[in-house]
């Protein structure tokens, strides 16, 4: 998709808003034509020229009316501009976010969060700017044509000197575009790195303190800021240089016109009113030339913004950016619908055949994994650190894109695991829980219906009820950004309660033991086992979990080393015996 196509598609998204906006701004840019002609009439009247047709007071009244009319037009113009910009910016942001949410969760964005935020903020604004300025370019061109026609009729030679700089400016802007793009990309990247560093620092305050790394972290932050300063300086300096080239070319033209105008006046071919008209229009023509250059600059910078937004889509088609969708700008927002469980969601058996995935960065991952989970079974995946347990859970759930393999739900192939393994079919507790700055209750519900009985059950299943009793405001306690006010174990059990609140058929737990004490974890499995209301896939190396397992899968270097019941494995698998005896920890 070219930049022009991107802009065109955005215009087509809300053609009426664009047309009204273009009309408003064309009127705004055309508005000075009238006061220009009135100024000419004013001076002709003052000098008693034969050209004078209106009385002085009538002209003054018309001038005031023209000024008032233009002010009203400008207010209306800003209203249409803001409305149109909001819609096209909203569409770009909506489409990017939608795509990110559809991507495999563990690989949703190909860049750092800081850079992604800059895509959403700066690159969208940049695109808005280019589309919005296309309206100005249009209005200004219409003004240029009309004023050109008027001025040519008065003095063709003089008029030429007003328009020659335009050609120069356009050429200068065209010649410098490659460098402009390079500087723009560098300054955006540097800004993304600074934002990312801030987010990393805030996210790792404890780790920084424990390591006594404050000085070094600040040192690195300073370095990144310095890089940003230098990149921004180049970007701004180049922009400003271009700007000043534009305005000075025009100033030179102005000088020439004044010289030429003075000569024609002396020779009597130009009235004082004509001269006033030239000077009056000149200001606006100057503006036109500068602004046209600005539009070209924005257009070129949008090329960079477009490439960055396309990069965020990873393998998605660039057309996704501009796919038309409603934005819900008025009235109550649509509530997200969490579908209720139906008979069709029932899991009888989940089968996985030859599932493989390798991280492109390390070439490690999982290879050829077979798995069979009958209804309400309890399967534990175990293995040493780095054996591929988390990867298996993620690839199965579509949080990472499988390289190959077959996943079947009740015998039916699962086409897109990412969109299939969601509540009420499946729910998941990741190794590192994601909590939000909100109340404990809203963190657990996270959009699920507020059913007190189901919530109580979820809390009990996650062994969270003693903790809630001890919290100052119970379920309504605000847990701080990322849940910092909770202990690691509380955070993990909150995530588990969130999973239980979804009443899913398949429950996938990724290593709860990293934050739970042995006793709490034992209680959690015990309660889960009592209910036997779901099929469970559990990543763990804890005896408490292994003891409940109907079947255990032992992974080693990304492959299934052994599988069977605990008894069987302890008899037959050396790896299992070593894991059981904690020799590998
Ligand atoms: N994001 C990643 N990029 C590249 N390689 C990765 C990534 N995550 C994991 N790996 C590699 O893939 C292999 C399997 O990792 P995985 O996290 O699945 O192991 P695990 O058994 O879950 O380990 P742990 O017990 O530490 O959770 C490891 O060798 C690891 O280094």
Among candidate residues 291, 303, 185, the one with its CA nearest the CA of residue 238: 185
- The answer for residues whose C-beta is within 8 angstroms of residue 40's C-beta and 6 or more apart is 51, 271, 273, 274, 276, 277, 280
**In a domain? residue 153:** yes
Length of the chain: 585
Structure tokens at 496: 């588990």
pLDDT-wise least confident of 70-84, 275-289, 522-536: 275-289
Q: Whose CA is nearest to atom 11 of ligand 1?
A: 364
426/471: higher pLDDT: 426
Tell how far the Cα of 283 is from the centroid of ligand 1, in angstroms.
Answer: 65
Q: What is the pLDDT of residues 116-141, one digit of tens each?
A: 998 999 999 999 999 999 998 889 88
Q: Whose CA is nearest to atom 20 of ligand 1?
A: 386
350 shares a domain with 293? no
Cβ-count burial 93-113 (b if 16+ within 10 Å, e if not) = bebbeebbeebbbbebbebbe
Q: Which atom of ligand 1 is nearest to the CA of 539?
A: 22
403 shares a domain with 272? no
62 shares a domain with 103? yes
pLDDT-wise least confident of 89-103, 125-139, 224-238, 471-485: 471-485
**In a domain? residue 331:** no
Q: What is the pLDDT of residues 50-71, one digit of tens each?
A: 655 778 888 899 999 999 999 9
Element housing 358 (H / E): strand 349-358
Tell how far the Cα of 200 is from the centroid of ligand 1, in angstroms.
Answer: 21
Confidence of residue 171 (pLDDT cuts 50, 70, 90): low
316 shares a domain with 211? yes
Structure tokens at 24: 């408003």
Residue ranges of alpha helices (H) inside 382-517 are: 389-396, 417-420, 440-445, 452-461, 465-470, 488-500
Give mean pLDDT, residues 450-455.
89
Structure tokens at 284: 């606006």
The single residue listed with the structure tokens 């050109």 is 148
Structure tokens at 285: 């023509």
Q: Given this model, what pLDDT does residue 537 score?
A: 95
DSSP 217-249: HHHHHHHHHHHHHHHHHHHHHHHHHHHHHHHHH
Task: Provide residues with CB under 6 Å of ligand 1.
Answer: 359, 361-362, 364-365, 383, 385-391, 511
Compute, in degrees rounded to 10, the torsion defined by CA atoms 401, 406, 409, 411: 160
242 shares a domain with 175? yes
Q: How far apart are CA 145 and CA 38, in angstroms?
A: 19
Q: What is the pLDDT of residues 502-556, one digit of tens each?
A: 889 999 999 887 778 888 888 888 888 887 889 999 999 888 889 889 999 999 9
**In a domain? residue 336:** no
Q: Which atom of ligand 1 is nearest to the CA of 106?
A: 1
**Start-to-end C-alpha separation, the chain:** 53
Give mean pLDDT, residues 418-440.
91
Q: Which atom of ligand 1 is nearest to the CA of 431?
A: 27
Strand order in the sheet with 349-358: 365-374, 349-358, 404-409, 412-413
**In a domain? residue 209:** yes
Q: Given this model, what pLDDT does residue 533 score?
A: 84
268 shares a domain with 194? yes
Give mean pLDDT, residues 198-217.
91
Report the domain count for the chain.
Answer: 2
- The answer for residues whose C-beta is within 8 angstroms of residue 273's C-beta and 6 or more apart is 39, 40, 41, 42, 43, 44, 47, 49, 51, 52
Give the range of the structural domain holding residue 307, as residue numbers without chain letter.
Answer: 3-322
Q: Which atom of ligand 1 is nearest to the CA of 541?
A: 25
Cβ-count burial 4-26 (b if 16+ within 10 Å, e if not) = eebbebbbebbeebbebbbebbb
What CATH number corresponds to the domain at position 369? Answer: 3.40.50.300
Structure tokens at 494: 């909150």
Strand partners, 371: 352
Q: Whose CA is nearest to atom 30 of ligand 1?
A: 386
Tell how far the Cα of 387 is from the centroid of ligand 1, in angstroms.
Answer: 7
Q: How far apart are CA 161 and CA 250, in angstroms?
A: 10
228 shares a domain with 141? yes
Q: Whose CA is nearest to atom 16 of ligand 1?
A: 388
178 shares a domain with 317? yes
Confidence of residue 497 (pLDDT cuts 50, 70, 90): very high
Q: Which atom of ligand 1 is nearest to the CA of 392?
A: 18
Q: Whose CA is nearest to atom 28 of ligand 1?
A: 386
**In a domain? residue 333:** no
Q: Given this model, what pLDDT does residue 300 score?
A: 84
Q: Which atom of ligand 1 is nearest to the CA of 558?
A: 14
Tell how far the Cα of 366 is from the centroid of ligand 1, in angstroms.
Answer: 9
529 shares a domain with 405? yes
Q: Given this model, what pLDDT does residue 265 score?
A: 79
Structure tokens at 317: 């088609």
245 shares a domain with 193? yes
């Amino acid at each position: 998709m070219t930049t022009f196509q991107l802009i065109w598609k955005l215009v087509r998204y809300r053609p009426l808003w664009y047309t009204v906006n273009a009309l408003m701004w064309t009127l705004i840019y055309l508005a000075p034509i009238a006061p220009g002609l009135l100024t000419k009439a004013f001076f002709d009247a003052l000098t008693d020229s034969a050209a004078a047709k209106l009385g002085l007071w009538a002209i003054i009244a018309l001038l005031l009316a023209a000024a008032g009319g233009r002010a009203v037009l400008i207010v209306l113009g800003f209203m249409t501009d803001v409305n149109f910009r909001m819609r096209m910016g909203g569409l770009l942001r909506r489409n990017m976010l939608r795509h990110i949410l559809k991507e495999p969760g563990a690989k949703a964005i190909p860049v750092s969060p800081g850079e992604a935020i800059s895509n959403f903020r700066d690159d969208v604004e940049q695109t808005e700017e280019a589309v919005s300025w296309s309206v100005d370019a249009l209005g200004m061109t219409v003004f240029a044509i009309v004023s050109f026609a008027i001025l040519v009729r008065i003095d063709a030679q003089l008029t030429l000197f007003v328009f020659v700089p335009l050609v120069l400016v356009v050429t200068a802007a065209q010649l410098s575009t490659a460098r402009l793009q390079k500087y723009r990309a560098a300054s955006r990247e540097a800004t993304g790195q600074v934002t990312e560093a801030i987010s990393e620092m805030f996210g790792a305050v404890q780790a920084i303190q424990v390591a006594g790394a404050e000085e070094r972290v600040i040192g690195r932050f300073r370095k990144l800021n310095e890089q940003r300063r230098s990149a921004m300086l180049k970007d701004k300096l180049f922009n400003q240089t271009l700007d000043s080239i534009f305005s000075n070319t025009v100033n030179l033209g102005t000088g020439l016109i004044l010289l030429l105008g003075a000569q024609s006046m002396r020779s009597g071919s130009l009235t004082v009113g004509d001269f006033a008209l030239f000077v009056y229009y000149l200001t606006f023509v100057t503006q036109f030339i500068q602004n046209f250059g600005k539009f070209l600059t924005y257009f070129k910078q949008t090329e960079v913004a477009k490439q960055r937004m396309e990069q965020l889509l990873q393998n998605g088609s660039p057309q996704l950016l501009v796919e038309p969708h409603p934005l819900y700008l008025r009235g109550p927002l649509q509530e997200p619908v969490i579908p209720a469980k139906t008979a069709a969601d029932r899991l009888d058996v989940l089968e996985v055949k030859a599932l493989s995935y390798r991280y492109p960065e390390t070439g490690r991952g999982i290879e050829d994994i077979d798995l069979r989970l009958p209804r309400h079974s309890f399967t534990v995946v175990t293995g040493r650190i780095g054996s591929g347990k988390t990867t298996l859970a993620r690839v199965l759930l579509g949080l990472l894109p499988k390289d190959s393999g077959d996943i079947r739900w009740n015998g039916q192939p699962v086409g897109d695991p990412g969109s299939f393994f969601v509540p009420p079919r499946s729910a998941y507790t990741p190794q590192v829980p994601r909590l939000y700055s909100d109340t404990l209750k809203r963190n657990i519900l996270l959009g699920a219906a507020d059913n007190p009985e189901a919530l109580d059950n979820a809390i009990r299943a996650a062994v969270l009820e003693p903790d809630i009793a001890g919290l100052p405001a119970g379920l309504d306690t605000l847990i701080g950004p990322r849940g910092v006010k909770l202990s690691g174990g509380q955070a993990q059990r909150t995530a588990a309660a969130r999973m239980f609140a979804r009443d899913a058929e398949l429950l996938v737990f990724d290593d709860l033991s990293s934050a739970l004490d042995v006793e709490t974890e034992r209680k959690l499995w015990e309660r889960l086992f009592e209910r036997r209301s779901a099929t469970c896939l559990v990543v763990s190396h804890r005896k408490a979990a292994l003891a409940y397992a109907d079947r255990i899968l032992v992974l080693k270097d990304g492959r299934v080393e052994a599988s069977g019941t605990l008894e069987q494995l302890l008899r037959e698998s050396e790896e299992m015996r070593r894991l059981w005896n904690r020799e590998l920890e």
